[in-house]
Amino acid sequence: MEVPGEDALEVIVGKLLEQRGLTLAVAESCTGGLVGHRLTNVPGSSAYYEGSVTAYSNAAKELILRVQHETLRRYGAVSEQAAQEMAWGVRTLFGVDIGSSVTGIAGPGGGTPEKPVGLVYVALAAHDGKWVERHLGGGSRWVNKERAAEAVLELLLRYLDGRL
């Protein structure tokens, strides 16, 4: 695998984090570590990236990220509420400036009419607020994972360059 080019989102996000002296941790579910993989492909990422948690099961979300059981019961793991709690939980766990999260349905199974395959929530928690976005893709499992990872990095970029 090659080092990402200068225009790759993970490179741009990394430069902005480093310039601002901010640290980041990520909570991942449906992406299975892909966001962390992309961030750590950037040389020097240890200056701003503290780590990630791949919390795939509800039990892991509760135990490690402190997502409330009631949130998971009432709204499900793939929800705006769970994504927000995951982002806050990973920020607290690592003691970083920014916590980001992603949860969704990569497929090909697991979708419902209310929550179809390709549905993803990405969230960000920082000292000045919380943001969450809903994205709906479609396609293969790998395509959905790639789109979800890209959505996390795009949300981080918009936060770091002041567009949120």
**Residue 41 pLDDT greater than 60, yes or no:** yes
pTM for this predicted structure:
0.96
Section 112-139 average pLDDT = 96
- 152 falls within a domain: yes
Section 137-144 average pLDDT = 92
- 3 falls within a domain: no
pLDDT at 139: 87
- 4 falls within a domain: no
Nearest alpha-carbon partner for 107 in 71, 73, 151, 148: 148
Q: Distance between CA 130 and CA 107 in Å, rounded? A: 27
**Residue 4 pLDDT greater than 90, yes or no:** no
**Residue 87 pLDDT greater than 60, yes or no:** yes
Query: Which CATH number does the domain housing residue 16 bear?
Result: 3.90.950.20
Residue span of the structural domain in which 29 resides: 9-160
The DSSP H or E segment spanning 119 is: strand 119-126
Mean pLDDT, all residues of the chain: 96
Q: How far is CA 134 from CA 16, 24, 74, 82, in A?
A: 24, 21, 18, 12
Contact indicator for 27, 98 with CB cutoff of 8 Å: no
Please give the structure tokens belonging to residue 110. 């697991």
Q: Distance between CA 15 and CA 56 in Å, rounded? A: 29
**Residue 1 pLDDT greater than 60, yes or no:** no
pLDDT at 19: 97
pLDDT at 105: 97
Number of domains the chain contains = 1
- 142 falls within a domain: yes
Section 20-47 average pLDDT = 98
